[in-house]
Amino acid sequence: MEGCRFRTLNDYRNVVNFDNGFQLSIVCNYISYGGHRGLFEAALLKDGDCVYHEQEFPDVKGNLSFQDVADLINKVRQYPADFPYTKNVFLSSYENTNKEV
């Protein structure tokens, strides 16, 4: 995956930016869903805030394989810029809590 940032084994964090204005936060670490098994977690972002769409992206997605992540990247890339979403008030500013130290 282009732009990977591994700090240690099973500690991966990256944000993929798309032309449609969405971002996809991809994480694999000891507290992410599936991270203890080397699987990934993904959250949909818009303007740095965690967002969701009831049918397409109802919550953070966990236990994702490399292929699942690749498929999700391709799917989000195809969202139109006006794709409807709701800001997740419980996870707002998600990107800011995931910055490298």
Note the pLDDT tens digit of each residue in 33-83.
888 888 999 999 998 899 998 888 888 999 999 999 999 999 999 999 999
The answer to whether residue 48 is domain-embedded is: yes
The answer to whether residue 77 is domain-embedded is: yes
Q: Name residues whose C-beta falls within 8 Å of residue 12's C-beta, 6 or more positions apart in sequence.
A: 4, 5, 6, 26, 27, 28, 29, 40
The answer to whether residue 1 is domain-embedded is: no
Local structure of 4: helix, strand or coil = coil
How many CB atoms neighbour CB 39 within 10 A? 18
The answer to whether residue 32 is domain-embedded is: yes
Q: Residue 83 belongs to what domain range?
A: 6-97
The answer to whether residue 93 is domain-embedded is: yes
Total number of domains in the chain = 1
Q: What is the pTM of this model?
A: 0.77
Burial category of 21 from C-beta neighbours within 10 Å (exposed 0-12, middle 13-18, buried 19 and up):
middle
